[in-house]
Amino acid sequence: MQTNQAVGNSDGVKGFVADWSGDQEAFRVPWGKAMMWIFLLSDTFVFSCFLIGYMVVRISAVEPWPNASEVFALEISGQHLPLALIAIMTFVLITSSGTMAMAVNYGYRKDKVKASVLMLVTALLGLSFVGMQVFEWTKLISEGVRPWANPFGAEQFGAVFFMITGFHGLHVSIGVIYLVTVSIKILKGHYDQYGNYEIVEISGLYWHFVDLVWVFIFALFYLW
């Protein structure tokens, strides 16, 4: 009697675990990839709210909105270069998408050395982007731009600029740390036990999302 009860309890526990873990294969999508997609979907809502809020603020602003070509221009050897830094930042980030795509390709081929090196190159490009963004912030702050004040026009400009670019810069910084951590673990053979480098693709999903968001920020904030 006790033996049958023990077997029944064992089957019950196994059945409970099977029911709760069965959703990992419900859509034939690996668990890690599914969770990354869910996170990115939620993050899409956040960025969408920020960008929509920015558009509403800009349209409803009473004072003239600053001219991006003037505010974000650089003076190099007496030459006035509108949006030069922003163009370089965009080029760097788009290039990093290419290196990340190559890393995913080598991850599929189970070439962990090339995949890891390309992820580190992607992280380096991302770090360069963040460095240029810090320079951009420093320049604007030195010119008097604040979240509550703006010498170039509408006061709301500083608030939405620092909020949106800062939030995106935070994502890039987290992505850099994430890529470096994963690439080091790949080189150390941490993922060899799984027989694949699916983590590279999951990392790529995050990085491509960050790059895509920048395209919208670039179009709405710097070109509009």
Q: Which two tokens stand for residue 38?
A: 């869910």
Nearest one of 179, 170, 219 to 201, comparing CA atoms: 179
Structural domain contains residue 5: no
| 75-79, 93-97, 159-163, 173-177: least confident range | 75-79
Q: What is the pLDDT of residue 31?
A: 83
Note whether residue 155 is domain-resident. yes
- Could you tell me if residue 138 is inside a domain? yes
Contact 165, 217 (CB under 8 A): yes
DSSP helix/strand/coil, 82: coil
pLDDT beyond 80 at 7: no
Reported pTM: 0.86
CB of 127 closer than 8 Å to CB of 176: yes
Instruction: Give 141 or 193, the one with higher predicted confidence.
Output: 141
Counting the structural domains of the chain, the total is 1
Q: For residue 13, is it within any domain?
A: no
In this predicted structure, the answer to whether residue 24 has a pLDDT above a threshold of 80 is no
Q: Is residue 75 part of a domain?
A: yes
Query: pLDDT tens digits for 109-147?
Result: 989 999 999 999 999 999 999 999 999 999 999 999 999
Is residue 4 domain-resident?
no
* CATH code of the domain in which 144 resides: 1.20.120.80
Residue carrying the six token digits 């963040």: 130
Alpha-carbon distance of 207 to 19, in angstroms, equals 33
Q: In this predicted model, which residue has the larger pLDDT, 4 or 184? A: 184
What residues make up the domain containing 63? Answer: 25-222
pLDDT over threshold 60, residue 20: no
> Residue 209 carries which side chain, given as an amino acid letter?
F
Does the pLDDT of residue 3 top 90, yes or no?
no
112 class by beta-carbon count within 10 Å (0-12 exposed, 13-18 middle, 19+ buried): buried
Burial code of 46-77, b = ≥16 C-beta within 10 A, e = fewer? ebeebbeebeeebeeeeeebbebeebbbbeee
pLDDT at residue 2, rounded to an integer? 47
CA distance 175 to 123: 8
Residue 12 domain flag: no
Query: What pLDDT was estimated at residue 194?
Result: 76
What residue spans of the chain are helical by DSSP H? 2-21, 31-60, 68-71, 84-108, 112-142, 156-187, 198-217
Tokens found for residue 86: 């922003």
Mean pLDDT of 39-63: 95
Nearest to 216 by CA among 93, 125, 84, 65: 93
* pLDDT exceeds 80 at position 61: yes
User: Does 27 score more than 50 pLDDT?
Assistant: yes
Residue 14 has pLDDT above 50, yes or no: yes
Residue 6 lies in a domain: no
Distances (CA, A) of 106 to 4, 103, 153, 168: 52, 5, 49, 28
